[in-house]
């Protein structure tokens, strides 16, 4: 009887681990798809489409130590989209914090536009929040 009980616990534990691994893989896939959507819009120079990926109450903390929120996000992103090309976002670590929040750490590369283009390699951390059933960027920190 004891062995059947322990076998049931072991099977249940394995199912939980397998389920958690599957959920993490699904989250990584979903977030990378959103990153690809972000990059495609930015590479088209479509700041409005990039801004649409942000929650209404989002905050961006860019490298200049400013805090950008509200309508300032659309302005910031439109300016950035006009100055870069070949943007690539790569999610390197995605962790679900709760049913409605996911934290992502990633790497970014892009090339600046202008007379002397430069390829930039940087990192970022963002928090995605589920808004009306869709994942939206809620907090965005990059450097």
What residue ranges do the domains of the chain occupy?
2-142
Beta-bridge partners for 136? 129
Q: For 101-113, write each residue's pLDDT tens digit.
A: 999 999 999 999 9
**Count of residues in the chain:** 143
Q: For 60-102, write each residue's pLDDT tens digit.
A: 999 999 999 999 999 999 888 889 999 999 999 999 999 999 9
pLDDT of residue 30: 97
SS3 track for 37-80: HHHHHHHCCCHHHHHCCEEEEEEEECCCCCCEECHHHHHHHHHH
Using CA atoms, how far apart are residues 26 and 19, in angstroms rounded to an integer?
Answer: 10
Give yes or no for a contact between 140 and 60, defined as CB atoms under 8 angstroms apart. Answer: yes
pLDDT of residue 17: 45
Q: For 8-66, write each residue's pLDDT tens digit.
A: 554 454 454 444 556 678 999 999 999 999 999 999 989 889 999 999 999 999 999 99
pLDDT of residue 33: 98
pLDDT of residue 72: 94
HSE-up (13 A, CA, CB side) for residue 106? 22
Q: DSSP secondary-structure letter at 133?
A: T
The CATH number assigned to the domain with range 2-142 reads 3.10.450.50
Give yes or no for a contact between 23 and 96, defined as CB atoms under 8 angstroms apart. Answer: yes
């Amino acid at each position: 009887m004891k062995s059947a009980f322990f076998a049931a616990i072991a099977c249940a534990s394995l199912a939980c681990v397998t389920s958690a691994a599957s959920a993490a893989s699904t989250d990584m896939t979903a977030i990378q798809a959103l990153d690809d959507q972000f990059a495609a819009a930015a590479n088209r120079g479509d700041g409005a489409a990039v801004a649409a990926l942000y929650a209404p109450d989002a905050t961006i903390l860019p490298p200049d130590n400013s805090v950008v929120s509200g309508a300032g996000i659309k302005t910031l992103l439109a300016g950035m989209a006009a100055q870069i090309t070949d943007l690539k976002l790569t999610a390197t670590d995605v962790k679900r914090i709760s049913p409605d929040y996911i934290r992502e750490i990633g790497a970014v590369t892009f090339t600046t536009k202008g007379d002397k283009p430069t390829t930039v390699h940087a990192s970022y951390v963002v928090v995605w929040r589920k808004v009306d059933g869709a994942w939206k960027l809620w907090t965005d920190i990059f450097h």
